[in-house]
């Protein structure tokens, strides 16, 4: 009942019957996370988690503070203040000296239009930026970027190397500005590094390729050149990630998935599912339920060598890079939109949602008695739009489009009372989740923790001599 209330109400009966939410009982034998620690330090929505090393992580959110935690014990190690409004991005800038762990830099961008750099434990303000900043580190060039209404490049000495922007209100351009003009009301929402000293910026429904030009003998400093604009998306781009050395991938508000060549920026593969606000009626008078735009929005990606795991609306989809098609799906993985997804070992997947749930899935090969065709279009299996029902559809084509795997629910982690924004996975220390309920939960492997406690007890008994006395 709690999750139904958080999710915003019951779905229309027809859709609920076609795409029931998969449930699991209390006996979750494949779910190792049976213990939890609740961590309290924030006073507003906790939106971001970033791993600092093998045992530390940082959290940030709408209260404008950054908290550093011990992932093993849940101990609060440090609190960093400085922002006056909510934090919109957080990244780490590795130290030049690998041994200097304490000198690791934490960069945060905020709605107060500042970027703060924190050299543990002291933060210092270094930049004024424009609305909607995002951050990216370019390790090959040893610089970092901030993006909003403009694109700024910085070095480790906190010097502004170069800046691109729209034209100023007075019509004058700073000596560091280029005449790159972004559409009004749009700003850079995501940045990634690609080869040839280039970056890709998501600006509304466009991708803009910029090349970073290092200073030469004849130039005064760095330069940023706009190289190309990619206009293949029909709506705003919500997700942008590198998936391997050959490709990067984007996802949009209307469910478009496009895989791009990382060297020549051409489209390698695409799947489209445009939202149609009007109900459609097929030849058998079957009413197709209308979907809201956010029901097909691609919120997040994760990947491995073979697949891209896509969070689409309330569902999860597995897209195979070699086959260039969907090989598994869970159309209704959660009651509300899936916000974050990550790959775990042993063909497992974890997802979290606006409904407050965290769920663990296992990718299993599907035993098929008959081919199950995937309708044309990326996610037409949602149940809207016309499905090709031609009787002459070749059997071979059905077999090629058959769903080969299934996503089976093996764990349901109940602990948060509001939207779960994201999570981190530590191989040795479990899962960390953050939520709109202001809490962070550290989920522990119960069997592992029990073994560690027993080991510590025996070690203590041995140190005190009580172990031999008992024997």
At 259 the three-state DSSP class reads strand
Q: What is the pTM of this model?
A: 0.79
Residue-wise pLDDT tens for the chain (471 aa)? 333 233 333 333 333 344 478 888 888 889 999 999 999 999 999 999 999 999 999 999 999 999 999 999 999 999 999 899 999 999 998 776 554 455 578 989 898 888 888 765 555 555 555 555 789 999 888 899 988 888 989 888 778 899 886 533 333 333 333 333 333 346 899 999 999 999 999 999 999 999 999 888 777 789 999 999 999 999 999 999 999 999 999 999 999 999 999 999 999 999 875 333 333 334 333 333 335 555 789 999 999 999 999 999 999 999 999 999 999 999 999 999 999 999 999 999 999 999 999 999 999 998 755 545 554 554 444 443 444 444 445 555 555 566 789 999 999 999 999 999 999 999 989 999 999 999 999 999 988 888 778 888 877 777 777 655 555
Q: Which domains are delineated in the chain?
A: 37-128+424-458 (2.130.10.10)
121 preceded by a cis bond (ω within 30 of 0):
yes
The per-residue DSSP string of 48-107 comes to EEEE-SSSEEEEEETTS-EEEEETTT--EEEEE---SS-EEEEEEE--SSTT-GGG-EEE
Q: Would you say 58 and 434 are in contact if contact means Cβ atoms under 8 Å apart?
A: no
Helix ranges (H only) for 355-423 are 395-400
What the block records as the tokens of 140 is 């090959």
């Amino acid at each position: 009942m709690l999750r139904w209330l958080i999710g915003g109400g019951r779905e229309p009966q027809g859709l609920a019957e076609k795409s029931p939410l998969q449930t699991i009982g209390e006996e979750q034998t494949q779910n190792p996370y049976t213990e939890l620690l609740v961590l309290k330090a924030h006073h507003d929505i906790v939106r971001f988690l970033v791993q600092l090393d093998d045992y530390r992580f940082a959290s940030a959110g709408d209260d404008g503070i950054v908290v550093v935690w011990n992932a093993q014990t849940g101990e609060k190690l440090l609190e960093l203040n400085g922002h006056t409004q909510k934090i919109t991005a957080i990244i780490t800038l590795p130290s030049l000296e690998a041994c200097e762990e304490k000198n690791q830099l934490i960069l945060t961008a905020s709605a107060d239009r500042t970027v703060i750099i924190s050299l543990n434990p002291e933060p210092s303000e270094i930049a004024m930026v424009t609305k909607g900043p995002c951050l990216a580190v370019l390790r090959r060039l040893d610089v970092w970027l901030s993006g909003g209404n403009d694109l700024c490049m910085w070095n480790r000495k906190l010097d502004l190397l170069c800046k691109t922007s729209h034209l100023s209100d007075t019509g004058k351009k700073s000596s560091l500005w280029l005449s790159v003009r972004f559409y009004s009301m749009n700003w850079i929402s995501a940045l990634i590094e690609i080869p040839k000293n280039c970056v890709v910026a998501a600006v509304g429904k466009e991708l803009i390729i910029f090349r970073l030009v290092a200073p030469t003998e004849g130039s005064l400093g760095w330069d940023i050149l706009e190289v190309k604009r990619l206009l293949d998306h029909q709506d705003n781009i919500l997700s942008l990630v590198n998936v391997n050395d050959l490709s990067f991938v984007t996802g949009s508000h209307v469910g478009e998935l496009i895989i791009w060549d990382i060297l020549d920026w051409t489209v390698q593969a695409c799947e489209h599912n445009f939202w149609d606000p009007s109900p459609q009626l097929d030849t058998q008078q079957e009413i197709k339920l209308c979907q809201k735009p956010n029901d097909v929005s691609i919120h997040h990606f994760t990947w491995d060598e073979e697949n891209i795991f896509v969070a689409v609306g309330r569902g999860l989809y597995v897209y195979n890079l070699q086959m260039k098609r969907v090989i598994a799906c869970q159309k209704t993985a959660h009651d509300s939109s899936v916000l974050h997804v990550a790959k775990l070992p042993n063909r497992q997947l974890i997802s979290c949602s606006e409904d407050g749930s965290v769920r663990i899935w296992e990718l299993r090969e599907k035993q098929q008695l008959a081919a199950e065709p995937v309708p044309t279009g990326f996610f037409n299996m949602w149940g809207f739009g016309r499905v090709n029902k031609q009787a002459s559809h070749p059997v071979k084509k059905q077999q090629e489009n058959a769903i080969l795997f299934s996503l089976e629910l093996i764990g349901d982690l109940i602990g948060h009372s509001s939207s779960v924004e994201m999570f981190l996975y530590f191989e040795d220390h479990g899962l960390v989740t953050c939520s709109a309920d202001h809490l962070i939960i550290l989920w522990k492997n119960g069997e592992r923790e029990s073994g560690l406690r027993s080991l510590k007890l025996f070690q203590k008994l041995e140190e005190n001599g009580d172990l031999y006395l008992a024997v």
